[in-house]
Chains A and B, each alone.
Chain A
């Protein structure tokens, strides 16, 4: 009995066992070819986004480098100074490839920051609600239910109609939209975990409550959370693009992929397809890559399948 208790109290991430578990999951992940491909694609896109200022052919927002005479060149067209624009240029003579790399940077930045923040807030609130129970839980879950009964796009529109445009404002709107998903997910698993023996043991040891919640309860609720988070990053990318396309998202000075698509929208009718199409292709590749990774993570981290 005492032995059992001891191993249980150590269990949260089961320190040395956790290492091998992590490695096993990792090798399981790479067994899927499409997931490996998706991850490689994702790493490539992230690298392109991070290093955009160094690898882009031009700085698309340095007006000195732009020449209106080079405007609306088709893909592969050469500008006045003889440079080839592989993906064409927009109406101000901006190289689309460079604009897309910079746009990807903003899109992924917004999505990742908002997801991480929403994850932290949602997980903390959800795990506290499950641990405290009673009125706190009731209140939190009512708020979650209320929010999830309305579509995300509508809530984001209300917030951005109130805040106005801005990268920071889009991030806040995306956090508000997303936290409820995490809170619900984490509460679901915390409700199961809080009755486990190791939590009981931790309570018997009179560990501080915050330590029980954040060091014992929360780490054991993480796997489903990771799955939800990858799916949500893809949603966040798409939602941000949609909001920016509607003209309530990022400002004109910091165009994300959605904004670029909006800019090209006016030229679509006259057959200048590349201004809208290529940023969209970049957006789609990013979303599909994230989904491929998320799909595999769901299989690998699903306890029902791994047993």
Chain B
């Protein structure tokens, strides 16, 4: 187990290092942010001064070495635009994004499980087939357009919900959250639902496949023979057994939800870190782009690492086959 643990952590560190190199070179090798930052009337001397102040006049490998050195000390550079530490800007917006992602996660379970179980219990019924076609749509339709149509329907036509932004925050254990107030919830509803759709489609599939398998098991048959009510069979016997794969997959998908929030936040003008990324790309604010990407890379690598380690701890076959290869 220890050998596996060490190898797996080393792999994760290598991934972060590779991604840091790729991201840094990709973002810093192209374009000239000085053109955007400088006063349009600035002459060549002023431009050079700005470049020197931002460290952009040095060769790329020197900039990279400096970036790595600072990053190891927890400093991912200062934003060109806000002149504040890039990491601070992102961390400020992180609670908003995490709140959105978690609420969306809850939505995808609340929507996905009942529909999936229904489709699994009656796979050939009209409802069952409609649910499955719906899940294909949820997978393939462009998410941002669904968001726009929801704004059109609920904000513009029906005037029931706000079209975007984030509601007033209250403090919960020191974190600024909005879901505790009615106004905050109203702001969260549409973006969270939009973000949840794709995952809900995934949950529907998992729940349906799980249900179809579980209803054939002996313990379900026995429960039926014993005269347990169908309601109880579904709620207790089926539901408990299909939740394991659903929870595993959703845990893995949390990272991709944070990444996908980029799109949702832009549609709903939601002030999270995804919106910051898109704004920063437009302004060529390199330190913020790199810091955001590095943060997300680390989140992904950590999630994958934790899942792998838990699997290895639970199932010895995983670490044994790995050490043979």
User: A residues within 8 Å of B by Cβ?
Assistant: 146, 149-151, 153-154, 157-164, 234-235, 238, 241-242, 245-248, 258, 261, 265, 268-269, 271, 273, 276-277, 280, 283-284, 287-288, 291, 295
User: B residues within 8 Å of A by Cβ?
Assistant: 15, 18, 22-23, 26-27, 29-31, 136-137, 140-145, 148-149, 151-152, 155-157, 163, 255-256, 259-260, 262-263, 266-267, 277-278, 281-282, 289, 293, 296-297, 300, 304
Nearest 3 CB-CB pairs, A to B? A162-B26, A280-B145, A238-B142
For the complex with contacts A268-B152, A269-B156, 5 further pairs of A-B residues with Cβ separation under 8 Å are A161-B27, A246-B278, A258-B142, A280-B142, A287-B140
Residue of B nearest to A237 (CB): B142
Residue numbers in A under 8 Å from B143 (CB-CB): 242
Pairwise interchain contact B152-A245, C-beta atoms closer than 8 A? no
Pairwise interchain contact A245-B144, C-beta atoms closer than 8 A? yes
User: Contacts A146-B15, A247-B282 known; A234 to B140 CB distance under 8 Å?
Assistant: yes
Q: Give A265 to B151 CA distance when docked, in angstroms.
A: 10
Residue of A nearest to B144 (CB): A245
Pairwise interchain contact B152-A277, C-beta atoms closer than 8 A? yes
Pairwise interchain contact A268-B156, C-beta atoms closer than 8 A? yes
Closest approach, in angstroms, between the C-beta of A284 and any C-beta of chain B?
A: 6
Pairwise interchain contact B145-A284, C-beta atoms closer than 8 A? yes
Residue of A nearest to B145 (CB): A280
Residue numbers in A under 8 Å from B293 (CB-CB): 154, 158
Q: Give A296 to B259 CA distance when docked, in angstroms.
A: 31
Prevailing SS type, chain B contact patch: helix
Residue of B nearest to A270 (CB): B156
Residue numbers in B under 8 Å from A242 (CB-CB): 142-144, 263
Residue numbers in A under 8 Å from B262 (CB-CB): 153-154, 157, 246
Residue of B nearest to A280 (CB): B145
Residue numbers in A under 8 Å from B163 (CB-CB): 269
Residue numbers in B under 8 Å from A150 (CB-CB): 259, 297, 300
Residue among A158, A269, A283 making CB contact with B142, cutoff 8 Å: A283
Can you pick out 9 interface pairs between chain A and chain B where the beta carbons lie within 8 Å of each other? A154-B296, A161-B26, A162-B26, A246-B278, A269-B156, A271-B157, A284-B141, A287-B142, A291-B136
Closest approach, in angstroms, between the C-beta of A201 and any C-beta of chain B?
A: 30
Residue among B30, B148, B263, B278 making CB contact with A163, cutoff 8 Å: B30
Q: Give A86 to B269 CA distance when docked, in angstroms.
A: 31
Residue among A151, A246, A283, A288 making CB contact with B145, cutoff 8 Å: A283
Residue of B nearest to A234 (CB): B140
Q: Give A23 to B143 CA distance when docked, in angstroms.
A: 38
User: Contacts A153-B260, A153-B263, A157-B277 known; A241 to B282 CB distance under 8 Å?
Assistant: no
User: Contacts A149-B300, A277-B149 known; A162 to B282 CB distance under 8 Å?
Assistant: no
Residue among B31, B140, B156 making CB contact with A238, cutoff 8 Å: B140
Closest approach, in angstroms, between the C-beta of A92 and any C-beta of chain B?
A: 20
Pairwise interchain contact A161-B263, C-beta atoms closer than 8 A? no
Residue numbers in B under 8 Å from A159 (CB-CB): 26
Q: Give A291 to B140 CA distance when docked, in angstroms.
A: 8
Q: Give A261 to B144 CA distance when docked, in angstroms.
A: 10
Residue among B31, B140, B281, B296 making CB contact with A288, cutoff 8 Å: B140
Q: Give A160 to B284 CA distance when docked, in angstroms.
A: 12
Residue numbers in B under 8 Å from A271 (CB-CB): 156-157
Pairwise interchain contact B300-A246, C-beta atoms closer than 8 A? no
Pairwise interchain contact B148-A280, C-beta atoms closer than 8 A? yes
User: Contacts A154-B296, A242-B263 known; A261 to B27 CB distance under 8 Å?
Assistant: no
Residue numbers in A under 8 Å from B300 (CB-CB): 149-150
Residue numbers in B under 8 Å from A295 (CB-CB): 136
Closest approach, in angstroms, between the C-beta of A278 and any C-beta of chain B?
A: 11
Residue numbers in A under 8 Å from B297 (CB-CB): 150
Residue numbers in B under 8 Å from A241 (CB-CB): 142, 144-145
Pairwise interchain contact A162-B30, C-beta atoms closer than 8 A? yes
Pairwise interchain contact A280-B263, C-beta atoms closer than 8 A? no
Closest approach, in angstroms, between the C-beta of A230 and any C-beta of chain B?
A: 11
Q: Give A245 to B148 CA distance when docked, in angstroms.
A: 11
Residue numbers in B under 8 Å from A284 (CB-CB): 141-142, 145
